[in-house]
Chains A and B, each alone.
Chain A
Amino acid sequence: MSTLRAILTLAAVLALTQTVQAQQGYPVRLDLGTTPTPQDLAQAFAIPPDGRGLPPGKGTYAEGEKVYADSCAVCHGDKLQGIPTPGIGGDKLIGGRGTLASATPVKTVESYWPYATTLFDYVKRSMPFTAPGSLSDEQVYGVVAYILGEANIVPKNAVLDAKSLPGVQMPNRDGFVADPRPEIQLYR
């Protein structure tokens, strides 16, 4: 092999090596994945306290009373009292106001939940327990109106919709504090 050819070969190898090296390392982005279609995210929701994302529609106590009887009472009881027996286990939904600082606190939607939007989100998301996501938005508004009505949080003639629901003032709205841990008392 001539000297010139050896030099050319070496140069080619070096150039190739540099090209490969330029492609090494971790890129900032890989541009993987695809852009979600509107249909992909059509069912997605999560409702913060300002009500962003609440769907159209509305519901009343009277409409919710029927939904509750058909879909909720079997686990939560016809008086919203909860059924803790094996095989069921639906939470008590109302009552318990004024008990949180007692020796036997009763935590319910009425006594403990800080936001009405959470109730809408949770019922639409996870209820009824054996057929989650099966209620229409109107039915969810209705059953929320029924529960909040039974809890004496909204009047029984209230109409709940995307506009009115975020305005509902829950009794325990100011019952929560930020996590102070590590607790300074442990450093004395």
Chain B
Amino acid sequence: MAVRDALEGYDEKTKTQVEAMIDAERRALAQRGREPEDCSCKTGMFPQLGRRSVLVAAGSALAASLAPLPTPARAAERKAPAGAVWRESPNDPTKVPGTPTAEDGGYGSRSQFATELRWRYPTPTTLSSWTMTPLDTSEGIITPSGLHFERHHGGIPTIDPARHSLFVHGLVERPKKFTMADIKRFPSVSRLHFIECSGNGLTEWRKPTLKTVQGTHGLLSTSEWTGVQFSTLAREVGLKDGAGWVLAEGADSAVMTRSIPLEKLLADAIIAYAQNGEALRPEQGYPLRLILPGWEGNTHIKWLRRLDVSDQPFMTREETSKYTDLLGNGKARQFSFTMEAKSVITFPSGEMKLPGPGFYEITGLAWSGRGRIARLEVSVDGGKNWNLAALQDPVLPICTTRFRFPWFWNGQPSVLQSRATDETGYVQPTLQQLVEIRGLAGPFGSVYHLNAIQSWSVAADGSVSNVHA
């Protein structure tokens, strides 16, 4: 079968791993009420229901689910997706009163008809695992906090902020213990930044493996983060001569640690207590998280409890045996922090199906750990010709930028690509370029820092799939 073909060339162990991933993605698609098998009913993959519902072919599964009448099957389920509350949907909502005000207890939830979910990568244990953001349905540049990707190494701790504190010590003149109340009294900043796991796309080095943009790029999310600049705390404690690195430590059961160059912390680090206008979510580090704009996600230590100022890196497990990039020559890059310029088309993307030739607005996200996106080009012929896309405001440094491109599909097979250039002039490379430089060290290549151009193939029947082109 097709899945097995896609696995040709992998060794048995890797095949098992990849099969589990593909299976997890398939289950996630099925849970969203979508038909994962090849068929003519894949219109359910359209992301923007409101705006594009006109494109939905009558009689499709999706159209049925959008109809005002609850179908017997749906009514019988009386089930809402995570983050929603199930309510009867009346034939005509203008003829009966709706839900009483404040019945939600004072905190709202999403519509029961909004079904997008993070899905979990099938690591052996759920305590050390990760989930992917559904980028196929992403709108604008902000990720809803409840859909922000996750990576945990020892589960999600439940932390009472009244008993949480941040220690700043080591090579400082005045070591300090800050309560959460202390932290919040400091002058603060709010900034929009993406966080991307450096393992984003690790299945895609050798062959197109996962089907959806959630699977290939879903370890990327963007939030507005509010907190205290590290530089503010640095003056509070007084940095001593010789200070060069800082150990950041989390209060989870992994007691996660990374060594961070002081230069980066003083440049733009934020000790964040809020995300998208409210307290951090527990899975995002409540009550305190280190934000290192543009650096690999693992360095954004969650549940932050300690900053130990030192003259040297500590060479922790996460910065030696993990999050190092093994090259084809057997050497590994260490402290490869920066997430380089990258982009991906989110519509149309893998497993969607275009109903026929005509106009489509291609849209997607571009981002760079080195600053603003300066240019985004789209190709509809596999990289032969490139066209400038419009960058939607705001275009912020070290933040996702939404791009849009008008496309008249002529019905012929096409390969869609996007290519980002950031303000330093760095141009998003092809996969081939990266492999030529780094080599392929095993089934998943260097694992980390795959920022290559993504290709989506549109077949003559309109179905979209993940390809290497």
Contact = CB atoms under 8 A, between A and B. Distances in A.
Main secondary structure of the interface of A (DSSP, over half): loop
A125 interface: yes
B314 A36 contact: no
A41 B167 contact: yes
A26 B187 contact: yes
Nearest to B330: A101
Interface string B240-260: 000000010100011101000
Interface string A162-188: 000000000000011111111101100
B321 interface: yes
A100 interface: yes
A146 interface: no
B255 A126 contact: yes
B329 A101 contact: yes
Interface in A106-158: 107, 109, 112-115, 117-118, 121-122, 125-126, 129, 132-133
Give the interface SS of chain B, mostly helix, strand, loop or mixed.
Answer: loop
Interface stretch (B135-143, B395-403, B426-434): B426-434
Interface stretch (A1-9, A10-18, A42-50, A60-68): A42-50
B236 A179 contact: no
Contacts of A105: 326, 330, 441-442
B330 A100 contact: yes
Contacts of A179: 333-338
A87 interface: yes
Contacts of B338: 179, 181
Given A30-B236, A33-B178, A100-B441, A176 B185 contact: no
Contact of A186 (B128, B186, B314, B427): B427
Interface stretch (B54-62, B169-177, B283-291, B412-420): B169-177
B123 interface: yes
A78 B430 CA distance: 44
Given A29-B236, A33-B176, A118 B317 contact: yes
Given A105-B330, A186-B427, A46 B320 contact: no
Contacts of B443: 104
Interface residues of B, number: 67
B11 interface: yes
A118 B272 CA distance: 28
A176 B316 contact: no
A86 B315 contact: no
Contact of B178 (A28, A32, A84): A32
Interface of B: 11, 13, 122-125, 127-128, 153-154, 167, 169, 174-179, 182, 185-187, 235-236, 247, 249, 253-255, 257, 306, 308, 310, 312-317, 320-321, 324, 326, 328-338, 340, 424, 426-427, 429, 433, 436-437, 440-443, 449
Interface of A: 26, 28-36, 40-41, 44, 46-50, 84-89, 100-105, 107, 109, 112-115, 117-118, 121-122, 125-126, 129, 132-133, 175-183, 185-186
Given A89-B128, A113-B320, A113-B321, 18 more contacts: A30-B186, A30-B236, A44-B169, A44-B249, A44-B308, A48-B310, A88-B124, A89-B124, A100-B441, A104-B11, A109-B321, A118-B320, A126-B154, A175-B332, A176-B333, A177-B331, A179-B334, A185-B433
